[in-house]
């Protein structure tokens, strides 16, 4: 009987040991995910050591450049008045007779003054004031630098009247349709020309068509 009890006790101990979790678990070392300007190399320079703290971060850097470097490319603004003077745009406008042609189509000073209340009501001035940086450095260079080529076209269209703007809008819309219908691709990059050029052609169609409608309504 004693031998049987010893045998059962040994079996129970062996069974319990089989289901006992291992006390020592091997730990896996995880690599560090910290990123450094020196890419973690010991021989590379440390940005925190060789760069003044005032230059760290885009906002601080732009502020420092604006305060210490005159006419920096980073904070430079397009000089609209200077370029208008250099390109002699005012003289070209007078030479082409654009103002007189606008008056001929019904757009005179009195008509412009009548638009001011509507412009103020729509908040156009507030929108312009809140987007000065975009207008000066985005739209102004395109308009001013392209003026010597665009003004003669505008003068010719004003000489004809609203039909010229409608024809131009139809022509631009036709170009956009042709690009989309024929799946024309932009060379070297293989992108759909109708999609990406459409970002320019579609708004241009609306502007030309709108100009034709506006001149038709002003025609006296």
pLDDT in tens, 121-153: 888 888 888 888 788 888 889 899 999 999 999
pLDDT of residue 77: 79
The per-residue pLDDT for 51 is 67
At 139 the pLDDT is 87
Over residues 97-106, the mean pLDDT reads 92
Give yes or no for residue 12 having a pLDDT over 90.
Answer: no
Residues 6+ apart with CB under 8 A from 158: 98, 101, 102, 104, 105, 164
Compute the distance between CA of residue 202 and CA of residue 180 in angstroms, rounded to an integer: 12
Q: Mean pLDDT over residues 28-41, rounded?
A: 57
Is pTM, for the whole model, over 0.75? no
pLDDT of 37 over the 60 cut? no
- Out of 8-12, 52-56, 118-122, which region has the weakest mean confidence (pLDDT)? 8-12
Confidence of residue 84 (pLDDT cuts 50, 70, 90): very high
Confidence of residue 79 (pLDDT cuts 50, 70, 90): confident
Residue with the larger pLDDT of the pair 46 and 200: 200
Residue 158's nearest CA partner among 38, 119, 150 is 150
Q: Going by C-beta distance under 8 Å and a sequence separation of 6 or more, which residues neighbour residue 84?
A: 90, 144
CB 200 within 8 A of CB 139: no
């Amino acid at each position: 009987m004693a031998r049987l009890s010893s045998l059962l006790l040994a079996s129970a101990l062996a069974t319990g040991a089989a289901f006992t979790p291992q006390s020592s678990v091997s730990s896996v070392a995880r690599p560090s995910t910290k990123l450094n300007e020196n890419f973690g190399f010991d021989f590379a320079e440390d940005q925190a050591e060789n760069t003044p703290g005032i230059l760290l971060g885009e906002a601080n850097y732009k502020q420092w450049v604006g305060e210490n470097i005159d006419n920096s490319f980073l904070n430079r603004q397009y000089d609209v008045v200077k370029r208008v003077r250099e390109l002699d745009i005012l003289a070209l406008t007078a030479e082409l007779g654009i103002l007189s042609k606008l008056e001929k189509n019904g757009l005179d000073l009195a008509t412009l003054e009548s638009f001011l209340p509507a412009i103020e009501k729509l908040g156009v001035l507030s929108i312009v004031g809140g987007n000065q940086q975009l207008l000066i450095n985005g739209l102004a260079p395109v308009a001013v630098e392209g003026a010597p080529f665009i003004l003669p076209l505008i003068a010719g269209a004003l000489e004809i009247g609203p039909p010229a703007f409608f024809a131009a809008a139809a022509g631009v819309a036709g170009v956009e349709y042709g690009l989309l219908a024929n799946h024309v691709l932009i060379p070297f990059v293989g992108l759909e020309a109708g999609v990406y050029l459409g970002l320019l052609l579609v708004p241009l169609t609306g502007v030309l068509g709108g100009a034709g409608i506006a001149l038709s309504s002003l025609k006296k």
